Amino acid sequence: MTAAAAFRTRMIACFAIIYIVWGSSYLATSVGVHHLPPFLFAGVRFIVAGLALALIARARGGRLALDATDLKQLFVMALLSIALSNGFNVWALQWVPSSQAALLNVTSSFWIAIFGLFGARGHPIDRRTGLGLALGFLGTVAIVWPQEGYSIAHFVPQLGILAGCMGWAAGTIYFRNAEKSLDVLAFTGLQMFGGGVMLTAIGLGLGEQHEWTWTLPGMLSMAYLTVFSSCLAYTAYAWLTQHTTPARVATYGYVNPALATLLGWWVLDEQLTGVMLAGMAVIIAGVVLVNWPEEVSAPESPG
């Protein structure tokens, strides 16, 4: 297999992982936060996943010694991409259906593409990519259009999810533009650990330790999110942010809501209508436009 073919195969595999695993993570999180307190649920998950990734990186010969620049970058990423983004989402999922939470998270894609215009590695949005993003937006509007039973009580949690989306997008572009001395695996692990400590501190400050219960659904959802969503998918995502354009990375925000909506309907009996199915079809069309094959360049750094 040539280097270009191996690179293309790895990129396809990474996209498949973040599409499937993160698409199902909304269901797992919704189950988890209805059995465990949200901030401790998220904090423990990221502490365990972060330690696991850091130990794997160290076993592979990666450097874990940190200088001042490393500490600054890790703090920013832990705050934006873990504490703010995931913290707002797990809190809101106590009230917002998993499918709607996933649909609101599609706004991350728009912010990633917009923030990606700036910085040392700014990348313009071409006409085809812009059309794909516009189609994705229209499909998302069709899915999130208010249905019967919509309550204004969801408004504040929805705002929280939107704030988390901006944090995630800002962290994505910061990670892409930052000069890192740590390899991706070590950086990701330490970032998760730091964000997990922040979320755990919030949970303890709110007294969530008194609400902790060892239920089977809660433990299973935490295990799934720790191993697959945090360790596997987050590492794939970090690799993609360095090896493809922000607009392409942003397409996960279109595919994941479609999958989350289907799972929410199938497993949690959340509403799924013909309008939603049509919206998901439009979303996939937008993803195809944004990800239309073009000549693949060599990796920018060792994979």
State residue 215's pLDDT score. 94
Residue 27 has pLDDT above 90, yes or no: yes
53 and 265 Cβ atoms separated by less than 8 Å: no
Residue 221 pLDDT > 50: yes
Q: Determine the Cα–Cα distance for residues 69 and 215; give it in Å rounded to an integer.
A: 41
Q: What is the model's pLDDT at position 297?
A: 44
pLDDT tens digits along 120-153: 666 777 888 788 888 877 877 776 666 665 566 6
Q: What are 29-77's pLDDT values in tens digits?
A: 999 999 999 999 999 999 999 999 999 888 888 778 888 888 999 999 9
- Quote the pTM value: 0.82
Compute the average pLDDT of residues 175-192.
Answer: 84
Residue of 104, 105, 99 whose CA lies nearest to 271: 99
Residue 303 has pLDDT above 50, yes or no: no
Burial of 298 (0-12, 13-18, 19+ CB in 10 A): exposed
Maximum C-alpha span of the chain: 56
pLDDT at 115: 80
What the block records as the tokens of 159 is 């705002």
In the chain, at which residue ranges do the beta strands (DSSP E only) sit? none
pLDDT value for 126? 80
Note the pLDDT of residue 246: 76
Share of the chain above pLDDT 70, in %: 90
Q: How far is CA 15 from each of CA 19, 32, 234, rounded to the nearest angstrom? A: 6, 25, 11
Greatest mean pLDDT among 25-34, 247-256, 272-281 lies in 25-34
Residue 119 has pLDDT above 60, yes or no: yes
Query: Does residue 300 surpass a pLDDT of 60?
Result: no
Q: Which pLDDT belongs to residue 294?
A: 56
Whether 293 and 12 have beta carbons less than 8 Å apart is answered as no
Structure tokens belonging to residue 20: 């499937």
* DSSP secondary structure of 1-25: --HHHHHHHHHHHHHHHHHHHHHHH
Q: Are 287 and 251 in contact (CB under 8 A)?
A: yes
Q: What is the pLDDT of residue 146?
A: 64
CA count, 13 A, side-chain hemisphere, 18: 21
Write down the residue that tokens 């949200």 correspond to.
38
Residue 249: per-residue pLDDT:
83
Q: Torsion-angle region of residue 212: left (phi > 0), alpha (psi -120 to 50) or beta? A: beta
Over the chain, what is the mean pLDDT? 85
Name every residue whose Cβ is closer than 8 Å to that of residue 205 and which is 6 or more positions away in sequence.
none
Contact, 158 vs 89, CB < 8 A?
Answer: no
User: What's residue 250's pLDDT?
Assistant: 75
Confidence of residue 154 (pLDDT cuts 50, 70, 90): low
What is the pLDDT averaged over residues 84-110? Answer: 87
Residue with tokens 């303890």, as numbered in its chain: 204
